A and B are shown apart, each in its own frame.
Chain A
Amino acid sequence: MKEKQGTRKTGTDPIYSQVTRAEIEDFLYQEAALLDAWKLDEWLALLTNDAYYRVPSNDRPESDPGGTLFTIADDIARIRSRVARLKDRNAHAEAPPSRTRRLITNVRIVEKQPLRVEANFVVYRYRSNDDARQYVGRYRYLLRREGGRLRIAGREAILDAMELASLGAVSFIL
């Protein structure tokens, strides 16, 4: 939050006005590669110290987690705990880890300061003795520059399915 106070002026700070879709795409693809490879500590390093991660309930995709039940509404402490849990072999829903493959498309810069980005996703998920599952939806990112690098200050994964139904649990990081 400290950095933000310094940059909140009427105009757009050059570090945000000069951002390009190509740069954002590279960043999101890098994130996707880390998640698909289960390099969760490296993924954590992409997050700011006040980052959030949310998956809203399917029937209330546009809501606030303070007054609406979400599927996931993590603050940074809960995200770190989630990663610690997923790395534990006793996180049975993800032991052994699922294989996932993320396709990220339709990347759009929605706003430059604060830097808001949306993208579509399909996450294919495979486990032994289980049907293949397709998680389809859109990401809503809040990005920030820290020391010149893009960082994730918030990410929301909004699923298109009317209900989770055959998708079951969201036990990996979507």
Chain B
Amino acid sequence: MRLIVNQPQAFRFEVNRAALVDPAIHELEQRRIFDRCWIYVGHESELAAPGDFKTRAVAGRPVIFCRNGENQVRVFLNTCRHRGSLVCRSREGNAERYTCFYHGWTYDRDGALYAVPGQSAYPPNFDKAAFSLKAPPRVEAYRGFVFLSFDPGAVSLDEYLGNAKEYIDLVIDQSPSGEMQVIQGTQEYDIRANWKLLVENSFDDYHLLSTHSTWLDYLKNSGVEMKRPEKGEMLPAHGAGKDLGNGHATTDNVNFRGRPVARWIPIYGEAAKPELEKIRTELVARLGEARAARVADTNRNLIVFPNLVIADGSSVTIRTFQPLAADRMRVTAWALGPKEESATARAVRLDSFLTFYGPGGFATPDDIAALESVQQGLASYREIPWSVMSRGMAKEGEQLNTDELHLRAFWIQWDKLMSQ
């Protein structure tokens, strides 16, 4: 089955709607996408001390994301080597050892099988060393972002991320120490839609005016200045869509919204003004005018293929999503901020987050409604098999954030992996 039509000369790009509906395609992409790519696990800052752990689902598998006794980050499949039960059933905590409650097999923080109750009944060929907790074949990190891959032959994470690193670096440059931190409080919610619709939605700025008019009104009514769009553009500020290779892509926008680093808007309150000026001054002193402006006066929504979004807009959110079925996903989202940021700056960051993002924000609920509405409409995919995605195709040079080059970049990589 042809899943995309990509004819640049004919200015045609279409996505087969079956890719968003068909359970067989959903099954296939678990193997061809999620078993091959680097998949986001978590951020090192979520684990503060030796023995800290979090359990979560990554690429459909239950994993333990933890630190060993030497404070090194480890990832294990959360399944007992005896009968398969979850070895750790808590969401988070700190552990000396992991004990499976079913028959009592106990593992240490490096995954080694430490104790087996009644071990003498096993035959002489029973070797404890052969029953360690299994780690995914590959676990690597880039500047605190930890990924796994189930493909032992995968290229290094560094090579995989490629041009996306530049955009991750822009986020990390917000921090004077170069260390960003996941802030406590997790938003975890389901959307009754195919996960690839959230990929599109996360950096499709074409929908901003129609889906988020109430958010734009909120900013305007709160005193945020909105310029009239330039000729040929739709939004108050110029923005580009960029293909970063390997299926990664981003928007790269001149900022018009408030940003905790560092553009004050009246919503933040007069009291926060000096704090944001201080952040700005530090940024310029550390990075120089040009780089400081790049960090603070542009914003970006980055997709790391296939299912990690780093949105650096009204705040920074890390968002990853696990497909639960062809028509359902679970989203997990966190706020990210400089480790050393002051209490005032942290409060502004979190408040600004909630103006837009998350299940109670002024924008995300309408995105969820849009995706669920799409999924319902796609029930007629046999009658209307194709979705058009050709915005900007006939244009020379730069592509706008309201064009669809960046969406196509994702789909082209997805299609490539699905057909090999």
Residues of A participating in the B interface, judged by any CB pair closer than 8 Å: 55-60, 63, 65-74, 77-78, 81-82, 84-85, 88, 90-94, 129-130, 162-171
Contact = CB atoms under 8 A, between A and B. Distances in A.
Contacts, number: 128
Given A85-B362, A129-B376, A66 B186 contact: no
B350 A169 contact: no
A36 to B, nearest CB: 19
Given A60-B185, A65-B350, A164 B343 contact: no
B350 A69 contact: yes
B184 to A, nearest CB: 5
Contacts of B187: 57, 69, 71, 164
A9 B197 CA distance: 58
Rank and list the top 3 A-B pairs by shortest CB-CB distance, nearest first. A69-B185, A72-B360, A93-B365
A66 B343 contact: yes
B186 A59 contact: yes
Interface residues of B, number: 43
B370 to A, nearest CB: 7
B184 A63 contact: yes
B222 to A, nearest CB: 7
A76 B334 CA distance: 25
Nearest to B354: A73
Nearest to A73: B354
Given A69-B334, A69-B350, A81-B221, A55 B190 contact: no
A73 to B, nearest CB: 6
A68 B185 contact: yes
Contact of B368 (A57, A162, A169): A169
Contact of B350 (A66, A77, A84): A66
Contacts of B330: 165
Contacts of B359: 71, 164, 168-171
Contacts of B214: 85, 88, 90-91
A55 B91 contact: no
Contact of A69 (B183, B189, B221, B222): B183
B327 to A, nearest CB: 13
A88 B217 contact: yes
Nearest to A82: B362
B186 A163 contact: yes
B218 A81 contact: yes
Contacts of A63: 184-185
A98 to B, nearest CB: 11
A66 to B, nearest CB: 4
Nearest to A81: B218
B188 A70 contact: no
Contacts of B249: none
A98 B360 CA distance: 15
Contact of B189 (A60, A66, A77, A164): A164
B400 to A, nearest CB: 23
A60 B369 CA distance: 26
A169 B367 CA distance: 10
Nearest to B213: A90
A168 B368 contact: yes
B189 A67 contact: no
Contact of B91 (A66, A73, A162, A166): A162
Given A60-B184, A60-B185, A168-B368, A71 B360 contact: yes
B346 A67 contact: yes
Given A81-B218, A85-B362, A165-B188, 15 more contacts: A57-B186, A58-B188, A63-B184, A66-B346, A67-B346, A69-B183, A69-B184, A69-B185, A84-B218, A84-B221, A92-B370, A93-B366, A129-B376, A164-B189, A169-B359
Given A169-B359, A170-B359, A73 B189 contact: no
Contact of A165 (B190, B347, B351, B364): B190
A169 B191 CA distance: 9
Interface in B345-377: 346-347, 350-351, 353-355, 358-360, 362, 364-366, 368-370, 372, 376
Given A65-B350, A88-B214, A168 B366 contact: no
19 contacts: A59-B91, A65-B351, A67-B183, A67-B184, A67-B350, A68-B350, A69-B353, A69-B358, A73-B350, A73-B354, A81-B222, A92-B369, A130-B372, A165-B330, A168-B189, A168-B190, A169-B360, A169-B368, A170-B359
A65 B221 CA distance: 24
